[in-house]
Amino acid sequence: MAELRPSQSERKLIQEFFGLTMDVDRTREKGGSNPQDGQERFVPTCPICGDKHWPHHPLAPCFNAKKVKERVKAEAAAKVLAEKQARIDAKLQAKEQAHAEKLAKIEAKEQEKADKQAYYEAIKKA
Ligand SMILES: [Zn+2]
């Protein structure tokens, strides 16, 4: 993609947009001589999409903004869905747990009955 060359007023907006305190011009002129990043040209990180690119336009600085917004929205929707599913799962699990406990109680009662029966049988035989 061709690099956008912002005008003076746009540069100011860009600097404000990225919260840059450094002099963009100086950084650009230095170019590859910048020992910190070793890159040919300074490209700021977009605070909207997180990619490294120059603002496309002061009023619409990020072409990915819509995509990012949609992604965030989709992620939020997925999260809500996951939470809903988790709630449903928890409810089902609780229901199953209750059912299992009920069954265990019934079984314990039957076991008790059987034990008593066995006990009486044993007494009868004795
Ligand atoms: Zn961006």
- Position 56 in a domain: yes
Q: How far is the CA of 52 from the centre of ligand 1 (A)?
A: 7
Task: Give residue 60's pLDDT.
Answer: 85
- Ramachandran quadrant class, 112 (left: phi over 0; alpha: psi -120 to 50; beta: rest): alpha
Ligand 1 center from residue 121 Cα (angstroms): 84
How much distance in Å is there from the Cα of 80 to the middle of ligand 1?
26
- Residue at 71 is within a domain: no
pLDDT tens column, 53-103: 998 888 888 888 888 889 999 999 999 999 999 999 999 999 999 999 999
Rounded CA-CA distance 96/88 in Å is 12
For residues 28 and 44, what is the distance between their CA atoms, to the nearest angstrom? 11
- How many A from CA of 36 to the centre of ligand 1? 23
Q: Count CB neighbours of 61 within 10 A.
A: 20
- How many structural domains is the chain composed of? 1
Q: How far is the CA of 68 from the centre of ligand 1 (A)?
A: 9
Tell whether 14 is covered by a domain. yes
Domain that holds residue 26: 1-63
Cα-based distances in Å from 55 to 22, 23, 28:
16, 16, 15
Task: Tell me whether residue 120 is in a domain.
Answer: no
Give the Å distance between the CA of 86 and the centre of ligand 1. Answer: 34
What distances in angstroms separate CA 35 from CA 39, 40, 54, 96, one per listed residue? 8, 10, 21, 64
- Whether 3 is in a domain gets the answer yes
- Determine, yes or no, domain membership for 31: yes
| CA distances, 112 to each of 6, 14, 84, 117, 119 (Å) | 87, 80, 41, 8, 10
Close Cβ partners of 4 (under 8 Å, ≥ 6 residues apart): 54, 55, 56, 57
pLDDT at 109: 97
3-state secondary structure of 58: coil
The answer to the question of residue 72 being in a domain is no
Q: What is the pTM of this model?
A: 0.39
- Quick check: is 119 in a domain? no
